[in-house]
Amino acid sequence: MSPPPDDSDPELVARARSEDPEIRRVALIEAADEAELHVELFIEATGDADPGVRLEATRGLEGVETSAGAAALIARLDDSDPQVRREAAASLGEARNPDLAALLIAALSQTTAFARAALLASLRNLRRPEATAPALAALGDADARVRREAVGVLAYLQALGAALPLARLATTDAAPEVRRAAVAALVYAEPESVAGALVGALSDADWQVREEAAVTLARLAPRSAFDGLVAALGDEFWQVRLKAAAALGKLADARAAAPLAAAFDHPIANLRREIVNALAALGSREALALLRRAASDPDIEVRKAAERALGAQER
């Protein structure tokens, strides 16, 4: 039997090395109250034969900042017990030591998609530029979870050179959750360079991708997106219409007054209110006429938005 991993509490360490797995597990739960004093104990216990003990060990290593602790968690990403795998991923995701980036990158060759996705999620939180290249490579991974986490890394880094690969992913990936993540990540790109991909995403088969495309277009406000956003005002989902209206307001193109007015009779008050907000940014005669009409809307929030807009126009 190897020597105890620490001597901060000999009685607790002895119980953590008991022949009884339940005693070992409870000892680790107690050790978690002062986890920083028992890192070596938790590392050793990640290799325990009992999954309940391994589970408590991975919990005890949450936010670990040492290479040894991170390596122990990485090894558990392929654990035979799914709960241990999930807990190891969660604990590793709380690490904030940038010096761990090299260790995480090296481990990306792990065979399971779950492990690769967890490692990329941890790299995202570290925000290290050296993660750019492996994240770009992971955009071609066979598993959608891995591709989605790779998008997250590139988004957090606002990585130069990632816009075009992300734009391709936004319109071609087989998984809607990956397309949606890529569309959201394009918010850091040069507007006109990705406007075509975002307008294309306004016609995506998944309504949440279409909604996210409108959100990103509202942030970037590329002039070339005008026609696509006008078309999106007729989307079957009111959530997409709402975000398209907001984006048209950001463009502040007077041509939007007529299509916004045509979309105003929707029964969802939130959409009517967003159309009012968009019209307020246009300042055209057509927009002013609808704002006056909206001041008599049956919904109080729509009326308030119209009254604020009219008051601003008069000033």
- Domain extent listing, the chain: 1-95, 252-315
pLDDT computed for residue 286 by the predictor: 86
pLDDT tens digit sequence for 254-309: 999 999 999 998 999 999 999 999 999 887 788 898 999 999 999 999 999 999 99
What topology is assigned to 1-95 in CATH?
A: Leucine-rich Repeat Variant (1.25.10)
Over its C-alpha atoms, the chain yields an Rg (Å, rounded) of: 26
Would 1-95 and 252-315 be classified into the same CATH topology?
A: yes
pLDDT tens digit sequence for 183-242: 999 999 999 999 999 999 999 999 999 999 999 999 999 999 999 999 999 999 999 999
pLDDT computed for residue 188 by the predictor: 93
Q: Residue 184 corresponds to which tokens in the numbers above?
A: 């959201």
pLDDT tens digit sequence for 218-227: 999 999 999 9
114-123 average pLDDT score: 97
Dihedral over Cα of 67, 156, 176, 142: its sign:
negative
Looking up tokens 């990585």, which residue turns up? 159
Distance between CA 245 and CA 214 in Å, rounded? 9
Q: First CA to last CA across the chain, in angstroms?
A: 83
Distance between CA 136 and CA 120 in Å, rounded? 11
Among 53, 50, 54, CA closest to 72: 54
239-253 average pLDDT score: 96
Question: In whole numbers, what is the pLDDT of the chain averaged over residues?
Answer: 94
Distance between CA 166 and CA 179 in Å, rounded? 9
87-98 average pLDDT score: 96
Distance between CA 18 and CA 20 in Å, rounded? 5
pLDDT computed for residue 5 by the predictor: 55
pLDDT band, very low/low/confident/very high, at 151 (cuts 50, 70, 90): very high
pLDDT computed for residue 7 by the predictor: 62
Q: Which CATH class is domain 252-315?
A: mainly alpha
Kindly report the pTM of this predicted structure: 0.89
61 exposed, middle or buried (CB, 10 Å; 0-12, 13-18, 19+)? buried
